Structure 1
Amino acid sequence: MVGREQFHAELEKMKTMVIDLAEGAKEQLSRSVEALYNGDLEATNNILEDDKVLDQKEMDINEAVILLIAREQPVASDLRRLIIALKISTDLERMADHAKNIAKSIQHLGENHGINIHEKLSDMKEIAIRMIDLSIKSYKHEDMTIARKLAELDDQLDKLYGEVTKELLEETATNPQSIQHIMQMAYCARYIERFGDHATNIGENVLYLIKGKSIDLNA
């Protein structure tokens, strides 16, 4: 009984590690979009450095999961919990990478680029933040109802992304001398949209954890 209680305590520790990684990825997105609007090149250096910390946290989760599987040889729902922790941590690390890519775009834009950052990128960021909050809440509580809410938010994010892309393409026609800067904004919009996609993946993984079968939230 003691061994079983210890194993479940370690599963809870694993969940805490995943949630901590999620908070880091969310913070990275917020900081990168803020730096984009402020043209803050100093902040981008900090974002790039902090990404290495999040990469290490993902590796720590992976190593802990592998050790638990090797030592405990779990089956059924316990094994699913460990596998889902691996999959979610991978999505979170990729989300952080998208925030890092926004920081790199800011560096490409440089100082005094002379363009206004599209206001809808901030709206996209807010939706993406809501999505990661919901996805991690659904994971923490293993709540299907919360996970299913991600589909509507993902649709909203995709719609905004389409609008931003269209408007930026139109701007390249009227302002061709700034095409490189405008394209960096388009890349940033894509990174935020992909951030939301990974949050949706987390929701689908939660549904798999609970139901034991794959469910497409975008179906």
Structure 2
Amino acid sequence: MQDSHIVSSFDRDLEGVQAQVMKMGGLVEKALLDAAEALELRDEALAGKVRAADQAIDGLEEMIQTECARIIAQRAPTASDLRTVLTVMRLATALERSGDYAKNLAKRSLVLMGMAPVGTATGTVRRMAKLVVQQMSDALDAYIARDAVRAREIRARDQEIDQMYSGLFRQLLTYMLEDPRTITACMHLHFIAKNIERVGDHATGIAEQVIYLVEGELPSDDRPKHDAVSESI
């Protein structure tokens, strides 16, 4: 009877922190989409909201880490349960860092609003952000479902993000070569694209944590890459 009570208490605790992780994921996804929209539409107010919203993401991450530490200390989880708690902590860290990238995107967007637009680059950035957000959403869904097969599929899709990033980098390089006056704006856009690509890396990392949670080991093979551009910048 006592063991049953302990198990149910652990399950309730775990459900609580998992709910906070999913809430955090939703905030990060919204922040990235809003930041990309603010960039394309040159919306200063929306960019400002993204920057302010990062406090809520940081607060959730701190709450999750604190609660996970309490669960480990008070519940003394078994090996498989401990793996679940550690996975939750790693997911929260990945999401917090992704939120930081969204905030940085918004900050650079505000700078770019004082410069002339550069071709269709902002539209490409927004499409890339949508692709990464879908990757993040699918990875979190795979976590909730404990679906390692789906997680492997998500991991393989990281190549799509790399491909889009590489294409945008070459597009920006062309603009800079054709008109040196665009160099400053293009450099900001490049760092924005790199931030989005790194959020994609965190989404892939979440998918890898799902594999670790289900199978007990991280994937042993290297992540698939479209080309070497993202590694060389």
TM range (shorter): over 0.9
Larger CA deviation: 107-116 vs 18-27: 107-116
> Partner of 1:71 in structure 2?
74
2:166 equivalent among 147, 162, 168: 162
Aligned residues: 219
- Distance, in Å, in 2 between the alignment partners of 1:43 and 1:123 is 18
Output one character per residue of 1:109-164: Cα deviation in whole Å (capped at 9) or x when no partner: 13353434413222211210110111000111111121112133210110110111
Identity over aligned residues, as a percent? 28
- Distance, in Å, in 2 between the alignment partners of 1:140 and 1:217 is 24
Aligned pairs (5 A) from 1:1-219:
1-111=4-114, 113-118=116-121, 119-215=123-219, 216=221, 218=223
* Structure 2 segments unaligned to the other structure (5+ residues): 225-233
Larger CA deviation: 106-115 vs 7-16: 106-115
* Runs of 4+ more than 2 Å apart: 110-117
SS in 2 for 1:145: helix
* Structure 1 segments unaligned to the other structure (5+ residues): none
Whichever residue aligns with residue 126 of structure 2, its letter is S
Whichever residue aligns with residue 153 of structure 1, its letter is R
- Distance, in Å, in 2 between the alignment partners of 1:206 and 1:104 is 32
- Distance, in Å, in 2 between the alignment partners of 1:74 and 1:218 is 31
Whichever residue aligns with residue 168 of structure 2, its letter is V
Q: CA RMSD in A?
A: 1.4
TM-score normalised to the size of structure 2? Answer: 0.90
Whichever residue aligns with residue 143 of structure 2, its letter is Y
- Distance, in Å, in 2 between the alignment partners of 1:21 and 1:217 is 28
SS in 2 for 1:18: helix
